[in-house]
Structure 1
Amino acid sequence: MTAYIALSYCWGKSQNVTLRSENLELMKLGFMVSGLPQTLQDAIAVTRALGQQYLWVDALCIIQDSPSDWEVESSRMASVYRNAYLTIAVATASDVSEGFLSRNYRATNPWYREPYHEDWLNRDGCSTMLGARLVEATEFFNDKGDFAHKLPWTLRGWVLQEQELSRRLLIYEAYELHWVCQNKNTYQCSSDQVLSSGYSVDLLVGPPIFSITASTAHKQQWHHIVVHYTARELTDSRDKLPAISGLAKIFQEVIQSPYFAGMWVKHLLWDLLWDCVGRNVGYASEQYIAPSFSWPSASSDVVFGLDLMSPTDEWVPRAVIEDIGSIIDGKDPLGRLSNGWIKLRGFTFKAALADNPDGPQEHGFQRYSVWTEYLGEAIFKKTHG
């Protein structure tokens, strides 16, 4: 296979050079690099510096006004990033016009201080340099102890699978390079601390995607991915399933389970126990994305109820799936849907949909004057081990 580098970046509003049906033949003849947005120019420079000939860029490799080409290519994202020699990740630029090799961070960050450095002799008597950089921790944390700054790259929904599927990531952050591969996560200054760049690159905690096996706790790992994914942003809500289909393909190869609206038939009962949290709680997308009982239908962040329970508790299914089905909208079997349904047999109880007394946007079920957030007890029974 021919080696190539992939690019992961934020389009922003300045992506004015794209591959389209009307310029396809003209683009094949070639174009001036100087006419490309700055981020693409910088990525080409890095590719050449690394001695590589080919660079994969979505804007130039997918026909943007062709729904059929977009569907086919978006379904191949797993192989594109998984097979790349490495992925260049532009973490700090929110727009393709900004670039990443020559940005003036001193002007945009008033807290920045020039690093201290002086000539130094190490313990072996060799001449080297001693350097230090001031890191203002109060600039990076909010009152909840979370990182106050998030890199634009980590906020985008499409980026998650590019980030997780890449075998090697060369991340351009504010002041240094961040290297991530299957067995190493380090910064240019040799520190393993996230604060070394003054920002947080949200790398998932848990087994690497390439280590997922049939024996792995892939149910929890998939839930972990979904929780991180729903906290990110998508320009088009219809991309909710396509933008994670590459990761779904990798999981499906391992766990050998039918995929259904962002959930797995193999452990569907667990996947059904999701709940809305954070922004836009309780609101569905204005367009049809997925059936209302599946997490992609919600516009808010989600969590999975059983993942929050005590590890000493055992939850045993007490419902049975009798029928399940969906209608694919397009060419990607793991992508967009036009319909979906499920039929369960199990225990039920009468309840009324009610407002949560703790918040006007929260909804749940009122049963015998007892507030219930979800119907988990009707699907599972709990045992203590």
Structure 2
Amino acid sequence: MCDVYSNGYCNICATAAKDGSEGLFRDRKPLQVQQGWFQTASDEDDHCVFDAYAWAKEVENSVLTSRAWVCQERLLSRRNLHFGSKQLFWECRDHEASETFPKGVPEAVFKRSIVKSEVKVLLNSIDKCQADMSFKGAQIWEEIVQLFMRSNITFKTDRLVAIGGMANAASQTIGGKYLAGVWENHLLSGILWNAGYNPSKTSKFSLAPPETQEFIAPSWSWASFNAEIDFPPPRTHRSEGIEQFLQILETHVDLAIDNPFGKVCGGYIKLKGEIASATCYQPKISGSQLSSQDFEILFGRDGRELESLSSTLAYYDFEDMTEIDHKEVYLLPVCRLPSWYDTWEVRALILFPTNRARWEFRRCGVFIYSTDEAHEDLMSECTSFSRGEKYESSEFGRQDDGKFIIKIF
């Protein structure tokens, strides 16, 4: 698919069609696509009247572009010719145009689209695999994934296949191993995604044993999620301050076929870091319907509230919290990184035991805070938990430096 769409001369899109039974052409009113010019009584300047939302209505919000498979096809194609309901639209990696604006759609209309110059940077970079280019490419990849996860896909098991061609093309710029949608060279930001802001599409994922579910991807991969996602705020440069709280010891993915950009049937990451024990619980509030975001966290095995961490954000990877209500979970601080408006944030993974072997977990959410006091308190909880665990002279568990080696599946 990567070769077909990226080497094609032009992709012709029936963008106004509701399904495959409809064609390219529509009855149109030519006057609707013409620019209207006028002058006001107060000045002699020419003013233009046009539909500022035409691109959004006819291209970005069409049934066609809402499909996950089309997301990849559109991004890979060098040129797309959209047959809309009222006019033709054109896009390539350098230019966007329409019948209303044949020389180029104004930025105010087109605004910012990922189809524009960023994909050109990712696919056509002459500095392939250099560190700065890999960093920029990874950030563009995260934007592509966010766009892709807003799209609809009929079979969730096709998710990695439906973006595999794009991943294959991007691999030349980003470099390194591709692990079920996440790049090994940029693993930390890749596993710190969180549920997006569209409650109507919240995943109904359940924490049943993995063998009873239709496996799509390891829990740390965004591909295992069934709704929109967000990644941490983008950094301006790869060297911009990140304080890492763990070591990545090993990564592994089991491929379903001999194609790193296709389906997977298993995988894990092996990490060494500090962890804290906690409990998720549902507050008893009568007369209201709670979502997973209303669940609160008590710290330590004795279930203590910490005021400094009471205003933190916890994004869970599912809506049905029955499986972990009043159950022990673990917090794994991952890194401190720049956030919006010259601030910073710490992101920690929320982990739930697999119940197959000790120190084996699945990701069930991400925990975010942004104050020094909150960070000191969480790291203190990590120290307390470590002191309560015996040193295990084995591959996993507490090590002699007080940190823990764990696997996340």
Same fold (TM over 0.5): yes
Residue 275 of structure 1, CA deviation: 0.4
Give the structure 2 partner of residue 174 of structure 1: 85
For each residue in 1:244-297, what CA deviation from the matched residue of structure 2 results, as whole angstroms up to 9, or x when unmatched?
Answer: 001110121222210111101111111110001224435338521001121111
Give the structure 2 partner of residue 211 of structure 1: 124
Which residues of 2 match residues 217-366 of structure 1 at below 5 A? 217-277=136-196, 278=198, 279-284=200-205, 287-307=214-234, 314-355=241-282, 360-362=291-293, 365-366=297-298
Provide the rounded CA distance (Å) in 2 between the counterparts of 1:318 and 1:221: 25
Provide the rounded CA distance (Å) in 2 between the counterparts of 1:90 and 1:133: 27
Q: TM-score, with normalisation over the residues of structure 2?
A: 0.59
Distance change (3 Å), C-alpha of 1:296 and 1:304:
same
Contact 1:227/1:302, CA 8 A, preserved across alignment: yes
Range moving further from structure 2, 167-176 or 306-315 = 306-315
Alignment of 1:85 onto 2:9: yes
Which residues of 2 match residues 21-170 of structure 1 at below 5 A? 77-101=1-25, 103-104=26-27, 115=32, 135=51, 150-170=61-81
Distance change (3 Å), C-alpha of 1:364 and 1:336:
farther
Contact 1:273/1:376, CA 8 A, preserved across alignment: no
Provide the rounded CA distance (Å) in 1 between the counterparts of 2:112 and 2:11: 15
Contact 1:281/1:361, CA 8 A, preserved across alignment: no
**Secondary structure of 1:269's aligned partner:** helix
Superposition RMSD in Å: 4.0
1:266 aligned partner, one-letter code: N
Residue 133 of structure 1, CA deviation: 7.9
Contact 1:315/1:381, CA 8 A, preserved across alignment: yes
Residue 188 of structure 1, CA deviation: 2.3
1:316 aligned partner, one-letter code: E
Contact 1:319/1:346, CA 8 A, preserved across alignment: yes
Q: 2:96 aligns with which of 185, 190, 193?
A: 185
Give the structure 2 partner of residue 15 of structure 1: none
Contact 2:87/2:99, CA 8 A, preserved across alignment: yes
Provide the rounded CA distance (Å) in 1 between the counterparts of 2:16 and 2:113: 13
For each residue in 1:203-233, what CA deviation from the matched residue of structure 2 results, as whole angstroms up to 9, or x when unmatched?
Answer: 5465124334433311211110111110000
Residue 305 of structure 1, CA deviation: 2.4
Residue 140 of structure 1, CA deviation: 9.5
Distance change (3 Å), C-alpha of 1:116 and 1:258:
closer
1:338 aligned partner, one-letter code: C
**Secondary structure of 1:322's aligned partner:** strand
Distance change (3 Å), C-alpha of 1:372 and 1:184:
closer
Residue 104 of structure 1, CA deviation: 3.7
Distance change (3 Å), C-alpha of 1:225 and 1:347:
same
Provide the rounded CA distance (Å) in 2 between the counterparts of 1:116 and 1:280: 35
Q: TM-score, with normalisation over the residues of structure 1?
A: 0.62
**Secondary structure of 1:207's aligned partner:** helix
Distance change (3 Å), C-alpha of 1:167 and 1:382:
closer
Distance change (3 Å), C-alpha of 1:183 and 1:306:
closer
Which consecutive unaligned segments of at least 5 residues does structure 2 have?
36-47, 207-212, 300-304, 316-329, 345-409
Provide the rounded CA distance (Å) in 2 between the counterparts of 1:200 and 1:302: 22
1:150 aligned partner, one-letter code: N
Provide the rounded CA distance (Å) in 2 between the counterparts of 1:220 and 1:364: 31
Distance change (3 Å), C-alpha of 1:253 and 1:313:
closer
Provide the rounded CA distance (Å) in 2 between the counterparts of 1:340 and 1:170: 40
**Secondary structure of 2:204's aligned partner:** coil
Provide the rounded CA distance (Å) in 1 between the counterparts of 2:253 and 2:33: 61
**Secondary structure of 2:241's aligned partner:** strand
Residue 115 of structure 1, CA deviation: 3.8
Provide the rounded CA distance (Å) in 1 between the counterparts of 2:192 and 2:160: 18
Give the share of equivalent positions with the same residue, in percent: 23
Give the structure 2 partner of residue 373 of structure 1: 314
Distance change (3 Å), C-alpha of 1:150 and 1:345:
same
2:243 aligned partner, one-letter code: V
Provide the rounded CA distance (Å) in 1 between the counterparts of 2:117 and 2:281: 37
Contact 1:242/1:334, CA 8 A, preserved across alignment: yes
Contact 1:93/1:153, CA 8 A, preserved across alignment: yes
Contact 1:283/1:300, CA 8 A, preserved across alignment: no
Residue 318 of structure 1, CA deviation: 2.0
2:65 aligned partner, one-letter code: T
Distance change (3 Å), C-alpha of 1:261 and 1:351:
same
Provide the rounded CA distance (Å) in 2 between the counterparts of 1:255 and 1:376: 30
Residue 168 of structure 1, CA deviation: 1.5
The number of aligned residues is 283
